[in-house]
A and B are shown apart, each in its own frame.
Chain A
Amino acid sequence: MSSEEHLKQTDTEARFEFKKEEKSAFAAEKGLTEETIRVISEDKDEPEWMLQRRLRALEQYKEMPMPTDWPGQPDLSELDVDQIVPYIRPDVDVRGGVDDWTELPDEIKDTFDKLGIPEAEKNALSGVGAQYESEVVYQNMQEQWEEKGVIFCNMDKAVQEHEDLVREHFMTKCVPPSDNKFAALHGAIWSGGSFVYVPEGVTVEMPVQAYFRMNSEGMGQFEHTLIIAEEGSEVHYIEGCSAPKYSAFNLHSGGVEVFVGEDAHVQYSTVQNWSKNTYNLNTKRAIAEKGGRMEWISGSMGSKATMLYPSTILKGRGASDNHITIAMAGEGQDIDTGAKVYHNAPNTKSTIESKSIAKDGGRTNYRGLVHIADGAENSSTAVECDALMFDNESTSDTMPYMEINESKVDVAHEATVGKIGDEDIFYLQSRGLDDDDAKQMIVSGFIEPITEELPIEYAVELNRLVELEMEGSLG
């Protein structure tokens, strides 16, 4: 059975919305104190420098105000970090993860089975990491890549086994905790996540994947992803996220740092489908050296509120960046996403393609920043945003910012907003499609430029998620 068939056969709602009884070996107290952080760090047997970094981030977190004065930003007033359980270790003896699905306890294995992860691994991936609550429970890398020196392991393990690399790159140059309040929070209580290291000149031909699953009520997930691609290397990292729906709020505040070496190429794809009571407040950033190429591909479907602006610093001459994003907001959702690109060197190039769909009172916002520094001559950037709206209760905003300090540049921004065309629907109906199918077809066509960039499993998943969202509204 191909993964596409697998996905078709699994009822999508059942795939993402099921929840398991909470079972944990260790759960930190609610809220955030120095004591909690010491306990997490000790439980992970971390070196002293990491504990110190956590404590410093905690100080910064306490000092920084909540972001509340951005024009049109999502409402964070109901988010009470003190009510969030920051750390849960699942009740299994899989510290550091296992490398065989059969070694996982049935209920966890079942979870990932339902999500279709093992199936995808067999068919299309170089390696898989799976995180359940705060810990990575499964980790596997195909041998052929390991032989070439590629490292793909969970972040906690990386702190132990690749300490020098982690110490140099972890929340230092790319995403320092001082970047924003939630980056600081993340720096204090991060747990789990992935570490990817690709040595010079190595091309990892199949994507590596990590899947994050939040299962418990009222918890926070703070996984950290660190990708280091050395000169001339190439890797594609895929991340998937989901959580069932509970009445209490969940908080997801991940951190992603990507180092794109000279002439290296990193693609980072993610489809996130957090439950609709999750606050998704992430910081993702890449630094691209000379000739390096960074590609972000993201689909933001779930969550109550998302504030996420993956950014790239084009540091070396001729570095380039592509952003492809799609956001969909339904009832009660506020998806505030965009992209940031800093052109800090000559001959750098970026493109941003953003599509959003708002319906049933949902709100989507594109918030982007393109900064072209003085001296970044012959740089070019093109930003394109398209929004599709279903009904009059929904809202869609576009707030791009462009800071241009250099004259020898080519900057273009374009955005359009439109409703679903009555004529298009009429045309499809006159060809025998019912209203729902017609609308679904139009939406699928609208997002096609994005889905065609995704690996097939993800394109299928994204389409299924869109269909699921649509069914809910049109039934």
Chain B
Amino acid sequence: MSTQVTANLSEDVVRQLSEERNEPDWLTNTRLEALAALEGLDLPDVIQTPGRRWTNLEALDFESLVDPLDQSDETIRDVEGDAEVLTFREAIDEHEELVRETFGSVIDPHHNYLTALSTALFTTGTVIYVPEGVDAGDVTIRAEMNSRSLFSQTLVVTEKSASVTILESIESGDVEVDGHRYFSNLVEVVGGENSYVQYGSLQNVDRETYTYTLKRGDADTYATVNWIEGNLGSQLTRSDVETELNGDGSETKIVGAFFGHEEQHLDINARVWHQAEHTTADLVTRGVLDDEARSVYEGVQDVGRDAWNTSSYQRENTLMLSDESEADASPKLIIHNHDTEASHSATVGQVDAEEMFYMTSRALDPTTARNMLVEGFFVPVLEEIEVDAFREELQELIAARLR
């Protein structure tokens, strides 16, 4: 099903966005090509089983959601170490060749309707460049969304033997906007030989906002690309976190945490492609659902023909706190090479009655006991987060939701 281009989008609008940013022709053209492609592109694939579609992206009215010329954000970029952290505009001034070579190299702008829309319209973004051999330390990006729609583009390039830890968060600002909003975030990681990237992301926008994010990493020989994806906000979240293990001995870990309540809908996807020898992947996702919240999870471990000696693991656990909530899961294994050790598992359940009994028998009231168990449920995911501040923030947000 392809989607119609909305009336408020036109070549002029895209040209204007590009001109305001004084962009080189090649980037203007990339935007225009993405715009032109819109008409023939489909929305992201959504899991379907007989009689139902698990997430209804078609219901989003892009006509009213997208306001391309009125995008506004407040973004603070904090650098502790030696990484070059630049706004997209600065990066084009200072490293045009690098941006030109890598932008769109990991995520094809024409991948689907939403990636093309984002490529055509993005106004904010960050480029993080870590030169060869540099151990860059921590980078923090805190963004606030202050408009009806916001399109963001992040590019991370780590050269040979470089390393960096990045934390990104998105929240809604104080600016009042009537009706629904749309936040789109594309993140590309080009992980050079033997480099290390941990990219953590925390989404906590308000309940009026729909979010779409596609994060994809390309791991070269011996490179590690790790992802942490925390989703608490938004009315409808569509999150895709993916790694292509293209180099021998490369590794990835995709760690996800989500907590939905009220009528939130979370469509969480973790995917990995093993394309080279001796690659390792570990996918861990934990989610809690309360009230009428709904989660959709797809995990894909794709082992290619030439991926000799692959190790690939996936675990997904959902805890349901309410009878009205719904959790759908589909962990998929696609194996083309027999020299593989792979497993996946998924569980759905409620707070364990015995554990509750044990804790209440130790004089905790049932609510406190339940909250402690929920907080404890997230521990295996929290443990993966290297940066204390990020872990504490996620922990606090979970605790706040339980109060």
Contacts and interface: CB of A to CB of B under 8 A. Distances in A.
Contact of B345 (A392, A408, A414): A414
A397 B337 contact: no
Nearest to B338: A389
A405 interface: yes
Given A374-B323, A395-B335, A407-B321, A415 B329 contact: no
A308 B328 CA distance: 22
Given A398-B332, A399-B330, A412-B347, A406 B340 contact: no
Nearest to A416: B343
A406 B323 CA distance: 5
A414 B340 CA distance: 16
B323 A401 contact: no
Contact of A72 (B323, B330, B334, B346): B334
Interface in A367-404: 369, 374, 377, 387, 389-392, 394-404
Size bracket of the A interface? 35 or more
A387 B336 CA distance: 12
B348 interface: yes
Interface in B94-109: none
B205 to A, nearest CB: 26
Contact of B348 (A394, A404, A418, A420): A404
Interface in A413-454: 413-420
B349 A410 contact: yes
Contacts of A404: 318, 320, 326-329, 348
Nearest to B327: A404
A157 B328 CA distance: 45
Contacts of B333: 387, 396-399, 415, 417
B341 interface: yes
Interface residues of B, number: 37
Contacts of A98: none
Given A413-B331, A414-B345, A417-B333, A392 B339 contact: yes
Nearest to B45: A71
A409 interface: yes
B16 interface: no
Interface string B303-334: 00100100000000010111111111111111
A411 interface: yes
A398 B334 CA distance: 6
Given A413-B346, A416-B342, A369 B49 contact: yes
B134 interface: no
B325 A407 contact: yes
Contacts, number: 119
Specify which of A72, A391, A400, A402 lies most central, judged by the most chain B CB atoms within 10 Å of its CB: A402
B341 A412 contact: no
A387 B335 contact: yes
Nearest to B343: A416
Contacts of B321: 407
A415 B340 CA distance: 13
A377 B353 CA distance: 14
Contacts of A408: 323, 350
Contacts of A395: 334-336
B156 to A, nearest CB: 30
Contacts of B326: 374, 403-405
The main secondary structure of chain A at its interface with chain B is strand
Given A391-B338, A397-B333, A419-B340, A413 B347 contact: yes
B373 interface: no
B344 interface: yes
A401 B338 contact: no
B47 interface: yes
Interface in B42-72: 47, 49
Contacts of B337: 389, 392
A258 to B, nearest CB: 20
B65 to A, nearest CB: 28
Between A387, A390, A406, the greatest number of chain B beta carbons within 10 A of the residue's beta carbon is seen for A406
A377 B322 CA distance: 12
Contacts of A358: 338
A54 B297 CA distance: 41
A72 B210 CA distance: 30
Contact of A402 (B330, B339, B343): B330
A226 B323 CA distance: 37
Interface in B24-38: none
A213 B282 CA distance: 47
A391 B326 CA distance: 40
A395 B307 CA distance: 13
Nearest to A69: B48
B54 to A, nearest CB: 8
Nearest to A411: B348
A409 B339 contact: no
A72 B335 CA distance: 12
Contacts of A416: 342-343
Nearest to A422: B339
Contacts of B289: 407
Interface string B334-375: 111111111111111110000000000000000000000000
Contact of B340 (A389, A401, A402): A389
Ranked 3 nearest A-B pairs via Cβ: A389-B338, A407-B320, A411-B348
Interface of A: 72, 358, 369, 374, 377, 387, 389-392, 394-420
Interface of B: 47, 49, 289, 305, 308, 318, 320-350
20 contacts: A374-B323, A387-B333, A391-B338, A392-B336, A392-B339, A397-B332, A397-B333, A397-B334, A399-B333, A401-B47, A401-B328, A404-B348, A407-B289, A407-B350, A408-B323, A409-B349, A410-B347, A413-B329, A417-B335, A417-B340
